[in-house]
Every structure is written in C-alpha cells, then in structure tokens.
Amino acid sequence: MKKVAVILSGCGVYDGAEIHESVLTLLALERAGASYKCFAPNINQLHVVNHLTGEVDENDTRNVLTEAARITRGAIEDVKSLNVNEFDILMLPGGFGAAKNLCTFAIEGENSQVNQDVLTVCKAFADANKVAGYACIAPAIIPTVYPNGVKLTIGNDADTAKAIEAMGGSHIVTSVEEVVEDERYKVFSTPAYMLANNILGAATSIDNLVNRILK
C-alpha cells in the first residue's frame, strides 16, 4: 500500500485549501487503495476572506493548521512533524491558500518565496527521488523546489504561466483533465479548478493525477 503525505493550506478556496479538491484528493487516494496522512503549517493565514461576499475581513485572523483540520475531521499534524521516510508520495491540492499561505506567489508572483517548513518537506521528497503531485495553483511551488526546466502545468492562464516560466519552470499548456509529468524529477501536476467549471471537472482532474502518481 502506497503511503501519501497530503499538505493542506487552510480551509476555503479564497484564503485556504480548495475544499472540493482536498476532499476529492483524499477520496481518490482511498479508492485507489492508498493510505494518507494530512499536514499543514502551523501559521496564520495571509488574510481571511468572507466566502459569501468575497471581501477580506480585516478584523479576523485564522490559523492554517486549525482551519485545515476542518477538512480532515481533526486528523492532521503540523507539517514540521512530517518525516519523508514514512511516505512514498507527496500530494498538494490547490486553492488560493497554496499561493497565499504555503508560498507568496499570489502576492509576489515570480519573486515568490515558499514557507520554510513546507519547502523543507517538498525538497526532502525531491531529494529522495520520491513522487510528488501538485494540483490547481499549487504547481507554482514546483519551480522553487526543483531545478530549472522542471515541467509543470497550471492549465492555460497566460500571466500565471509567464510568472512560472520566469521562476525557472517549463510550463505546459493543458486541458483540465490532463496531467503533466516530469519524468526526470517524478513530479506531476494538473489544473483542477484552475480550469474546471464544476466539481465533476475537478474530480476528473484529481482522479487522473492520483492514478498517475500511484503508478
């Protein structure tokens, strides 16, 4: 049985982990016969968004780990405790939290910095030559983890792709159901809600990614 470490970035598409993508990832892993354990950084979110209005609540502060625990029914640990030797595969669903809390891509674009604890884990998997899967906007982290020229996709958004190219990534334009594999570095990516128009499209994208990384 493959053991998968899943890193979440909060709870909620606009300021944390995309809930559909997160749940679909866990469901796809279990259906495919893999086991998983969830992690998140124990830090404050960049900001808190009212998901009904789309407005930032300037008076609210939330913790990424605490919020992500909502998705996992409390079964989650600080990413600092993640031991790469205990897992075969790393998986990062998307949501704006991946670009706001796990790294600074949403604010700084090509000058993005990855949270140090998250970067340590991602690099540990890369250095151990273990498989990793990134969905939605989470692939924006890939160029910081892997050497220049690493292949990845976020779909077809031109401005996002340009920033990723400036960071050293080799962006491949894809449709929602496609998965890009960098065979050299064993890293996989798919657009999910960067392109999906509904939960079915996101599910297809996530299912395809999970099936590829488990091979």
Q: How does residue 141 score in pLDDT terms, banded at 50, 70 and 90?
A: very high
What is the average per-residue pLDDT within 87-116?
A: 98
Spatial distance between the Cα atoms of 30 and 63, rounded to a whole number of angstroms: 27
Spatial distance between the Cα atoms of 107 and 90, rounded to a whole number of angstroms: 25
Q: Does the annotation mark 136 as catalytic?
A: yes
What is the average per-residue pLDDT within 94-102?
A: 98
Sequence-separated (6 or more) residues with CB below 8 Å from residue 211: 28, 32
pLDDT of residue 61: 95
Q: What is the pLDDT of residues 38-78, one digit of tens each?
A: 999 999 999 999 999 999 999 999 999 999 999 999 999 99
Domains of the chain: 3-214 (3.40.50.880)
What is the average per-residue pLDDT within 156-165?
A: 98
pLDDT of residue 214: 97
Share of the chain above pLDDT 90, in %: 100
Taking CA atoms, 42 is separated from 7, 125, 197, in Å, by 12, 20, 32
Extract the tokens encoding 197: 């128009």
What is the average per-residue pLDDT within 136-148?
A: 98
- Per DSSP, the three-state class of 1 is coil
- Annotated catalytic residue, options 11, 38, 122, 136: 136
Q: What is the pLDDT of residues 13-23, one digit of tens each?
A: 999 999 999 99
- Per DSSP, the three-state class of 23 is helix
What is the average per-residue pLDDT within 171-184?
A: 98
What is the average per-residue pLDDT within 149-177?
A: 98
What is the average per-residue pLDDT within 108-129?
A: 98
| DSSP notation for 69-125 | HHHTTT-EEEGGG--GGG-SEEEE--SHHHHHTSBSHHHHGGG--B-HHHHHHHHHH
DSSP 128: T
The answer to whether residues 133 and 91 touch, using CB atoms and an 8 Å cutoff, is yes
Mean pLDDT of the chain: 98
